[in-house]
Amino acid sequence: MTTIENDLFLRALLKQPVERTPVWMMRQAGRYLPEYRATRAKAGSFMQLCTNPELACEVTLQPLERFGFDAAILFSDILTIPDAMGLGLSFAEGEGPQFAHPIRTADDVKRLPIPDPETELRYVVDAVRLIKTNLRNRLPLIGFSGSPWTLATYMVEGKGSKSFQKVKSMMFEEPALMHQMLDKLAQAVAAYLNAQIAAGADAVMLFDTWGGMLSHDDYLEFSLRYARQVRELLNTQRDGRQIPTILFTKGGGLWLETMADTGYDALGLDWQTDIANARARVGAKVALQGNMDPITLYAKPEVIRAKVGKILHDFGHGTGHVFNLGHGILPDIAPEHVKAMVDAVREFSPQYHAAD
């Protein structure tokens, strides 16, 4: 079994003793870094960057060199699966992702293939292999996918949405069709994550970005049900090591107890969820990841340090916490403010692990 030099992140996810709280950041490889912007310019477009394993590896490693995060996360996009299903993904400048062939009918759903990760998504799996080689077992690598529900929202709407009128209409008026689509997506997501694990990912995360815009009953039926199905299909053992799993539903604070019963090792928390309350609610069942408000990083370094200290204090003593933002970093954040956050976690957190 290969040893990873800094395995704090993996140990915290599995609620094993750690010397300090590990820290990484959603979208840590991104537009707030000048070196990322240079690589993106070299690639020519966001999609060309995503589909080039060498450049995807390059930007994955960039924030590790600058900040010393405790984990790398694969540079990719959550919409790679629908693109591989033939929906024609593109990114219009300033408008976000768009699909040329959105899903609107029963025939559209019937025609959806389940992509083979080693063919249609080979560029992602190759990127995982290349990143693992370049990490040289210094840090763990996180693989990820969008959740079935979140992928469905983009596939039916054809782009991002504020009201989600088209996808909710399908859900309300044709629930059997929506379930058929979500079942296909769950199979595709599980195959994709399993391929990332086989290629070397040391942990995997499911991003349920839009689960929080559903009502209570609809969340359980159309989002969490399929997150659970993905988890049941995952191969979470490789070379004698357990591969930890993380479920993150933005706006999911209402459902933490139910989410904790789905089999994932950790839950991501958005910034609207009180971390002390969340820990009390889930107990020892799962680890927690989060959950500083991304907007905090616009503040002065002393404010950032105080906010970090408050979150660490509120989680309290013991393992089972991975420090992160409550969502992705925004593109115009100053890199030195990220450094202030990381340095504060490293400075303040050991006191909470003294007897671990």
CATH of residue 109's domain is 3.20.20.210
Residues 195-210 have a mean pLDDT of 98
Does residue 28 have a known ligand-binding role? Answer: yes
* Residue 150: C-alpha distances to residues 168, 189, 209, 251, 330 (Å): 12, 11, 6, 13, 20
Does residue 236 have a known ligand-binding role? Answer: no
Provide the domain count of the chain. Answer: 1
What distance in Å separates the CA atoms of residue 198 and residue 178, rounded to the nearest whole number?
Answer: 30
pLDDT of residue 354: 86
Confidence at 214, pLDDT banded by 50, 70, 90:
very high
What distance in Å separates the CA atoms of residue 334 and residue 355, rounded to the nearest whole number?
Answer: 36
How do strand 141-146 and strand 72-73 relate by DSSP bridges?
parallel
Does residue 77 have a known ligand-binding role? Answer: yes
Residue 1 lies in a domain: no
Confidence at 356, pLDDT banded by 50, 70, 90:
low
* Domain housing 99: 8-353
Which residues carry out catalysis? 27, 31, 40, 77, 154
Q: What's the token pair of residue 221?
A: 């039926």
Torsion over CA: 271, 150, 51, 116 (sign): positive
User: What would the pLDDT profile of 77-87 be if each residue is shown by its tens digit?
Assistant: 999 999 999 99
Confidence at 52, pLDDT banded by 50, 70, 90:
very high
Strands (E), 9-106: 72-73, 89-92, 96-99
Phi, psi for residue 301 in degrees, rounded to 5: -55, -35
Residue 201 lies in a domain: yes
**One-letter amino acid of 306:** A
Q: How many residues does the chain have?
A: 356
Phi, psi for residue 259 in degrees, rounded to 5: -60, -35
pTM as predicted: 0.97
Residues 244-250 have a mean pLDDT of 98
Residues 196-208 have a mean pLDDT of 98
Q: Which residues, other chains included, contact 110 with Cβ-Cβ below 8 Å and sequence gap of 6+?
A: none
